[in-house]
Amino acid sequence: MYRIEFNDFFTSAFSVDCIIFGYSQGEIKALLIKRAMEPFENLWAIPGDLIYPDEDLEEAAERVLFELTGLKQIAMHQSQTFGKPNRHPQGRVITVSYFALIRIDDFEVKASSWAGDVQWVSLKNMPELAFDHNHILSSTYDMLKLKLQNEPVCFDLLPERFTLNELQQLYEFAFDQAFDKANFRKKIKYIPLIAHDEKQKNVKHRPAKLFSFDQKTYVDAVTSNHYTFKM
């Protein structure tokens, strides 16, 4: 059996792929870029980049997010790592995928050197993507759905003030099933929300009350060990 030298291992690269999820018009969407060069020229892809030698993984994912959206201080969630030897046609590249949840209205997409065309694409209507990105995206979406059930990350997707129906519709989209309105409101009874006097505007019917997530009360409830978010 031949012996592999230690240095032979240092022949691979690693990258992060950063799935940016947003929510608008009743649909969860991912921000994708159109590749301007080979391989997979003209196909849509998840934004990503190689990790610098001294850079932490999460830091690299934050950099990719920033370059594309200008947003900082957004929580990054690690999803999974993909490393089939032939997943990248130009060499061995292992990629760690992260996802970020943002409010679509909070920023403007920036063009960047490596991303000429950028677009929000609904998860209901996903085209063929470059590399193994369809696989990465769908695993990461599964992980998002898991978090939606166990942590209050839904409020990172919704506008700061939202109606209870908008909240419900987000879950209906994610889990592809309709819920009873009255029962949905009972279910969220213990989530700390602030009810505002403000109401929905520009709707052709009775406007709904606006709510926001009460982060402070939530943290208190969790740390004083009573409450766990569950959907």
Tell me which residues touch a copy of itself (CB under 8 A): 4, 8-14, 50-57, 78, 80-81, 83-85, 91-92, 94, 96
Site for DNA in 118-157 (CB under 7 A): none
* Per-residue contact string for residues 184-203; x = within reach of DNA by CB under 7 A: -xxx-----------x---x
SS3 label, residue 226:
coil
Handedness of CA 68, 72, 75, 76 (dihedral sign): positive
Can residue 182 be called a binding residue for DNA (CB under 7 A)? yes
CB of 176 to DNA, least distance (A): 15
Contact 99, 143 (CB under 8 A): yes
CA distances in angstroms from 188 to 19, 175, 182, 215, listed in the order given: 28, 16, 10, 15
| Residue 187 contact partner, candidates DNA, a copy of itself, none, CB within 5 to 8 A by sort of partner | DNA
Can residue 208 be called a binding residue for DNA (CB under 7 A)? yes
Q: Which of 110, 124, 196, 209 binds DNA (CB under 7 A)?
A: 209
| Residue 183 contact partner, candidates DNA, a copy of itself, none, CB within 5 to 8 A by sort of partner | DNA
| Window of 15-23, 64-72, 124-132, 177-185 that interacts with DNA by CB under 7 A | 177-185
Hey, which residues does 78 pair with through a beta bridge?
Answer: 98
User: Exposed, middle or buried by CB within 10 Å (0-12, 13-18, 19+), for 79?
Assistant: buried
| Residue 89 contact partner, candidates DNA, a copy of itself, none, CB within 5 to 8 A by sort of partner | none
| Residue 225 contact partner, candidates DNA, a copy of itself, none, CB within 5 to 8 A by sort of partner | none
Can residue 212 be called a binding residue for DNA (CB under 7 A)? no
| Residue 12 contact partner, candidates DNA, a copy of itself, none, CB within 5 to 8 A by sort of partner | a copy of itself
Distance of CA 229 to the CA centre of its chain: 19
**What radius of gyration, in Å, describes the C-alpha atoms of the chain?**
20
Handedness of CA 72, 73, 74, 75 (dihedral sign): positive
190 conformational bin, left if phi > 0, alpha if psi -120 to 50, beta if neither: alpha
Residues that bind DNA (CB under 7 A): 163-165, 180-183, 185-187, 199, 203-209
